[in-house]
Structure 1
């Protein structure tokens, strides 16, 4: 497979139950709500379409994404668990594609190039029809699966977010070993949020220093 088209399902329906009363997707990251930063990067990776699944505080998530080229799918069953949102999002896809990428709305470290890295890895993987990123032995996200799996995902017979997926579908799953930890970092707790914000600020300062050095060398 020399190239692959993909569509993205963004899971943005959760309760943020570990964030101590704050809705994590609306927390500011780099001057914008976390969910907008994530979805903006996904859109920039040029999928065929993006479906954002909403549930808890859905109107606020909708407003935070104003102006972005996405469609929304409400999941009335979001309290029953993440798989209901996966199924709702996949069922709402309309455009033809080779693969479906199931994205978490709180992975704020990922940029457009990271999502493209995964789709390129999917296109060139030596075997299988499901790709799971991994770093240092830790399973990451997003997960990609062949679009032909969509009916099974919608019916609940295949759960691409299941931790047992690799063991149960060893012949179909390709574990993609990445060179960085961004695919394994999400934002569930206040401590997670503080660490991520500090990391992004540190990286921004480092980029600023590098840009300054380059300017002086000219």
Structure 2
């Protein structure tokens, strides 16, 4: 059976305005939160891994096998980060005459879900291997992140503007969306939401 090639895009260029500090450096199990996400991706072993960020304190510590794409225009929204990564991936693929870097889909993941497990990430990946659509993690039917888009959606992803990410494309193709359930709602909660909940409980 053909194993589809995946490019993982790690979105780490946000301003952390709600968190009040660079949340990507916040320790999770004694390691920075961005490294926790990178460790999950490394275990997944995708064909390509691209990190989009503006933080030198992160890039100087990154595995050399990870492609680093700087994004200092964060005011253009998450879609800009996504598009920078897709274009970098396409350039890498077109430069390889062996076709070893051809990509069948893109997984977009953020760095601020400290309870996301490898089991759920791998379940998402394995589900997408059997599909040619959009696959996303969910809890009780409510979609969350990360999300995988098959290659056929790339033209639409490249056409988005602003801070809407891939939501616009998903909404246009709800009949082509496969939800992959996680075991706990915490897996899909970002650190900003956790911070707000903790403040309310204090």
Q: TM-score, normalised by structure 2?
A: 0.80
Count, aligned residues: 188
Deviations for 1:87-108, whole angstroms, at most 9, x for unmatched residues?
1111111321221100111122
Cα 1:107/1:190, change in 2 over 3 Å:
closer
Cα 1:28/1:98, change in 2 over 3 Å:
same
Cα drift, residue 109 of structure 1: 1.9
Cα 1:43/1:193, change in 2 over 3 Å:
farther
Task: State the alpha-carbon separation in 2 of the partners of residues 140 and 50 from structure 1.
Answer: 21
Q: Which moved more, 1:66-75 or 1:98-107?
A: 66-75
Task: State the alpha-carbon separation in 2 of the partners of residues 2 and 135 from structure 1.
Answer: 29
For residues 28-177 of structure 1, the aligned pairs below 5 Å read 28-55=27-54, 58-63=55-60, 65-67=61-63, 69-93=65-89, 94=92, 95-125=101-131, 129-156=133-160, 161-177=165-181
Alignment equivalent of 2:184, drawn from 180, 187, 198 = 180
- Which residue number corresponds to residue 96 of structure 2? none
Task: State the alpha-carbon separation in 1 of the partners of residues 6 and 186 from structure 2.
Answer: 20
Cα drift, residue 171 of structure 1: 2.9
Deviations for 1:38-70, whole angstroms, at most 9, x for unmatched residues?
112111111001100012xx111213x433631
Return 5+ residue gaps in structure 1 as ranges: 196-218
Deviations for 1:119-156, whole angstroms, at most 9, x for unmatched residues?
1111234xx51112210243211110112332432233
Matched, 1:14 2:43: no
Cα drift, residue 71 of structure 1: 1.1
